[in-house]
Structure 1
């Protein structure tokens, strides 16, 4: 049994926590949503959807990492916060990390591992990307997910292969489809192309992923965002290995048509969005490399303007 701490137990983090705990591991959840945390602590965490329907009891559910009490250092710490909260989250969990702990950063977009590495030993960090989950929190204490397409990890800077494999085995034992990568650029950009396509387009239109695919104007927007991301990846020296990347995006999106990406969910809840790590990151990298990204830039500007009406 592994000791696992999920820092950032929102929709995706709750799916991780529920399935890992259901597999028999000791799971501690950190979540700043007081209502969700209280429901999990008092009634257990229910996970529904693609993986079935189960309610599990976690070892603890707290609002702050400082309140996590472990009998030994964690085997695995998963930083599953939004990209803009990674620095604070990484700093807050330093006391949970021992010589054998693997810290996995799992965020959308670009830049999170570098932020975490400024707060923690880079040799403890694994970079993670996941996709095809379509996770949400329909009510406090309940997480739902529409699929479970990919879970990928790679070493950030010197993490021993044996420790990376041991951390991956925790996920595999919990039913997640895990693949390990050494080419982090390819791993991250293959996911970012998908995020660029559907995050901004759903946020601006209010459509589900299936709705975007079915609407010619929305799909034209999503497709253009993806195509620009592919061009920036190529200019960065990244070789994507997904066949036709636009068809890859259509296939992955088509597998979870009812999903609403986290950027749309954040907008609906009037929370801060991760546009700067996704469409905004594509635009920034494009500007740095001399690759035009007018669609991603426009999408990012529109979402920032919309955010300013409620932030």
Structure 2
């Protein structure tokens, strides 16, 4: 662009994590950032580079972007979207984490999707840059056993989401004759380690007959969830959803003001495509 451009107005949306159209608990969306970028009065020419994050594709493939979404056995993460000005990064909207898949042969098993620490919510996979991934809580009513798969963690700034460690079963004593196997999640990538200089989301992990959700990409990437598996006469696989990628607003020589954040409606089975819109003025 040429001329004394002083102000750029933007809307940047990261790609969505994988979900399923038939599910009442789809993956969460990419982050939405809107605001203005104010440039120095001396600016006479600017090059703007835009990267639009892709939503997670079919068969667990993560979306490409500024930080790719992780892939997974079933549901991948969304890619981050970004704006750079003269090769200086100004805005990143992180991609959303993917949904987890529960598997069970126990006829009296129910599942509830929850954010840690187990506040019930209607979704799995995290909204980018805002919250952790979801816990898929599987309750086996026979014997009063409850199995909780650890959610993936959203990235924080330039640091990828930490790999969730232990998963829990309540009460802690294993049922007679049952084997309990815990599968850890995978950490998200830090800033500058992933696609286009961002951080990639972690890949999802197969867990018995289920799978954890993959992390979303962004300024840094979200981690994948962890899982707990019970095997005896019945099988329970309770994995967690993926964490979202982190957002970013800054850059030397520019002043970024974010006027609001929100999320798009859920879309499945593949994640929604990200979006970048810019307009500019000389005042």
TM-score over 0.5 (shorter chain): no
Larger RCO (CA within 8 A; separation ≥ 6): 2
Q: TM-score, normalised by structure 1?
A: 0.23
| Higher-helix-fraction structure | 1
Structure number with greater Rg is: 2
Q: TM-score, normalised by structure 2?
A: 0.24
